[in-house]
Amino acid sequence: MFVAIYRWRLHPEREQDFVSNWHRITRLGLAAGSGGSSLFKDGQGDWVAIARWPSRAARERFFEQVEAGDAEPEMAERARLAVIERQPAEELDCVLDCWASFPETVQVSRS
């Protein structure tokens, strides 16, 4: 497994554009074989995401396909405009995977 951790500062008035686009890309990634993602907001108001993939190569192939033919470029652009600052991604290769699925259905928060 391969994990990428992303961090951003966002314009507060554009956060929903970013969240909607992140959710859209995650759904596309799930259909392409990703392990999904989680999006968080920390105590300082910064945003953090963790995305899981079977391999680094699988993630790279997916994003090459998205960049070559994104079906919703306007949404992607609104999400891009939401970003004030993006930190470099942390890329991690799994050594031990002990994550488990939660038994209840998790609802996507729109806040």
Structural element, H or E, at residue 66: helix 56-68
Is residue 40 included in any domain, yes or no? yes
Is residue 8 included in any domain, yes or no? yes
Is residue 103 included in any domain, yes or no? no
Instruction: Kindly give the confidence (pLDDT) of every residue in the chain, 111 residues in length, as a single tens digit, with 9 standing for 90 and above.
Output: 999 999 999 999 999 999 999 999 999 999 999 999 999 999 999 999 999 999 999 999 999 999 888 889 899 999 999 999 999 999 999 999 898 877 765 555 554
Domain that holds residue 80: 2-93
pTM of the model: 0.84
Is residue 111 included in any domain, yes or no? no
Domain count, the chain: 1
Is residue 43 included in any domain, yes or no? yes
CATH number at residue 28: 3.30.70.100
Is residue 59 included in any domain, yes or no? yes
Q: Which residues of 3-32 are buried (b: 16+ CB within 10 A; e: fewer)?
A: bbebbbebeeebbebbbbbbebbbebbeee
Is residue 109 included in any domain, yes or no? no
